[in-house]
Chains A and B, each alone.
Chain A
Amino acid sequence: MRLLLIEDDELLGDGLRDYLRSVGHVVDWARSLAALAAWRGEVFDAWLVDWQLPDGSGLDWLRAQRERGDSTPALMLTARDLLPDRLRGLDSGADDYLVKPFAPEELVARLRAVCRRSAGSAAALMHFGAVDVDLAARAAWLDGRRAELTAREWAVLEALALRAGRIVAKSELEQLVLGFDAELASNALEVHVSSLRRKLGRGLVETVRGLGYRIGPTT
């Protein structure tokens, strides 16, 4: 998944970025609201938003995004643990609320749950014909045999699975899988899609000419 982490604390931001990357996510880290300008128009699977930022409130930023109609799943990361704060956070458009300190393993699990719910699937295990995809275990099986996927291949599969049934534009998929450096490797996506088809069957990822890619609806 491609994640936007908005966190001003160096120790936590650095630790989370590295941990999330180590488990296969693409992470962009903004240390302030002003820094978010660099990612304007970019597509993310989820936002991780700190409430208190040096130049404003992450909550207000999130509310503004929702008012603009952006429904990217968002997880609030905050030290505010009081019930009214949690309710305020959730009412402002956050899909989940995680009180610091938290274990990064829990953050990853909640991220998966939030993204699954956003994709309309509560279960971690998804089925696409002969292919089974377990988002929690980050694994895929073809006819019951586990396929060995690289991190990038998994990222492509996960991005398409979370958007199952709808066409994902190539540029969007590039951003989700390759992140900020997408433009640097213009043919990288095709390489990963091709590998996926080789490992999980040619029918799994459909190319919609001129529009993008699609994984069929879950079965």
Chain B
Amino acid sequence: MTIKAVSIRARLARALAVWALLWCAALGLAVWLQFSQEVDELLDDSLQSVAEGLIGPLVAQQLTARPPEPEPEPAPGDGRRFVWQVVEGTQVLGSAVGSPAAPLQTTPTPGFSNRPGWRIFGLALGRDSRMLYVAQSREERLEVQLELGFAVVLAAVPVAMLQILWLNWRVRRDLRPLQDLSLRLAHYDPLQPGATLGPAVYEELQPVQAAIDALAARLAQRVARERDFTAHAAHALRTPLAGIDAQLAVALLEAHEPLHGRLQRVRAAAVRLQHVVQSLLALFRSGAEVQRQPIVLADLVARLPLNPKLTPEVSATQPLHADEDLLTAALLNLADNALHHGATGLLFSTPAPGVLRIADDGAGIDAPRRQALQAALDAEDYAGRTGLGLMLAGLVARAHGGRVELPALERGFAVELRLEPPA
């Protein structure tokens, strides 16, 4: 099961963008509320000022109790923003053009008051309980507040956008050390002497880098121990094997003829044992380091101590860069496999750059068995499913960053070592 990786940058950017928008909305709302209250007060002051300005001329006029010509009450939004009325009781003694026919207030109401659709300021005219009412439509006041709100939004949105851009840039910049760390890790070879990631840019990264350095140091120490052990094991195993072979060679020279066959069989077994030991040492080493070098396939095959019953052929047309020792160990075991399956001929070829194919003319295997082996190789599940030869071939190919393929053949068996990482 694969888990989709979460991007810290994307999550942070998203969270900061939401936060910036919310913050701007809250700030805008607060500004709008504060300003609308101030505007309300300004409009009220205007009403009061208009009333106080009108009262002088109106006192001078002799308004009779005769009602003015009735006019239809203006519908909200018809453009009448300010109106005034002089009211006595329930009678309108005078009014501005466009003011409602009905009195704005039927009982004397000095100061500010409200009625549906209007904000009113009342001022006593001084006698006969006459009142001057100056009113402003609610629609007008609402329009002013909406314009104010729109202006606040207009100011807040660019600020929010700038904030989002700045925060995004900041997030990217602050996460760059993580990217740098990834790049440094990609080129980090803990097996190099004194390898370290160096000081961390951020305090938070210091423990991470320190932990990686400590892990690398442990890994390098372990690899060094394993290398030492391999060197000792190689010496302890290879030297007696060489001694056995030398003693058998002498024995073959000194022994009477009837013993030759027996000694030769023992010597052949000793050589097989050498191959197995070399393979085991190569297996042990395959996980460590690969020493790539250009391979001249014909020379490599010529140096292989193949069983004389096998006739090798070489057809190398493509370049091959590989670890010669690992390749030798794998090829020797594959050749042994071929011999066990009745092969007499081996064809070593390079069908593509970085691909080495070894095909034999033995009995081969059926398609289901081949597919089962391929599945085991692909899954790196060698135990009980492949022999030492294929297992070693698989490990050697993987040590080179590649894999092993078992192509179908009309006759015989073939193994392809793909020694390059997939493109």
Contact = CB atoms under 8 A, between A and B. Distances in A.
Interface string A104-115: 110000000000
A18 B246 CA distance: 9
Give the secondary structure class of B's interface.
helix
Given A101-B274, A103-B249, A15 B235 contact: no
Contacts, number: 84
B235 A52 contact: yes
A15 B274 CA distance: 17
Interface string A45-87: 0000000100000000000000000000000010111111000
B245 interface: yes
Contact of A9 (B240, B285, B291): B240
A11 B250 CA distance: 12
B250 A81 contact: no
B379 interface: no
Given A52-B235, A81-B234, A101 B242 contact: yes
B325 A82 contact: yes
B311 interface: no
Contacts of A10: 243
Contacts of A15: 243-247, 249-250
A102 interface: yes
Contact of A11 (B243, B271, B281, B293): B243
A103 B305 contact: yes
Contact of B238 (A19, A79, A105): A79
A122 interface: no
B269 interface: no
Contact of B241 (A22, A81, A100): A100
A83 B247 contact: no
Nearest to B277: A101
Interface in B202-259: 231, 234-235, 237-247, 249-250, 253-254
A16 interface: yes
Interface string A1-39: 000000001111111101100100000000000000000
Contacts of A52: 235
A12 B249 contact: no
B293 A83 contact: yes
A147 B274 CA distance: 39
B33 to A, nearest CB: 78
Instruction: Please classify how large the interface on chain B is, using the bins under 10, 10 to 19, 20 to 34, 35 or more.
Output: 20 to 34
Given A22-B253, A82-B291, A102 B242 contact: yes
A83 B290 CA distance: 10
A104 B291 contact: no
A95 to B, nearest CB: 18
B143 to A, nearest CB: 87
A101 B247 CA distance: 12
A103 B325 contact: no
Nearest to B281: A81
Query: Which among B242, B277, B325 has the greatest number of chain A C-beta atoms within 10 A?
Result: B242
A101 B271 CA distance: 9
A125 to B, nearest CB: 21
Nearest to B235: A79
B325 A12 contact: no
A99 interface: yes
Contacts of A19: 246, 249-250, 253
Contacts of A18: 246, 250
A82 B230 CA distance: 11
Contacts of B240: 9, 11-12
A105 B249 contact: yes
A104 B250 CA distance: 9
Contacts of B231: 79-80
A101 B241 contact: yes
Given A81-B325, A101-B274, A14 B247 contact: yes
Given A18-B250, A22-B254, A80 B239 contact: no
Contacts of A100: 238-239, 241-242
Contact of A101 (B245, B250, B285, B324): B245
Contacts of A12: 239-240, 242-243, 246
8 contacts: A12-B246, A14-B247, A15-B250, A16-B246, A82-B325, A83-B293, A99-B238, A104-B250
Interface of B: 231, 234-235, 237-247, 249-250, 253-254, 271, 274, 277-278, 281, 285, 291, 293, 305, 323-325
Q: Which 7 A-B pairs have the closest CB atoms?
A: A15-B246, A11-B243, A12-B243, A101-B241, A101-B242, A79-B238, A100-B238
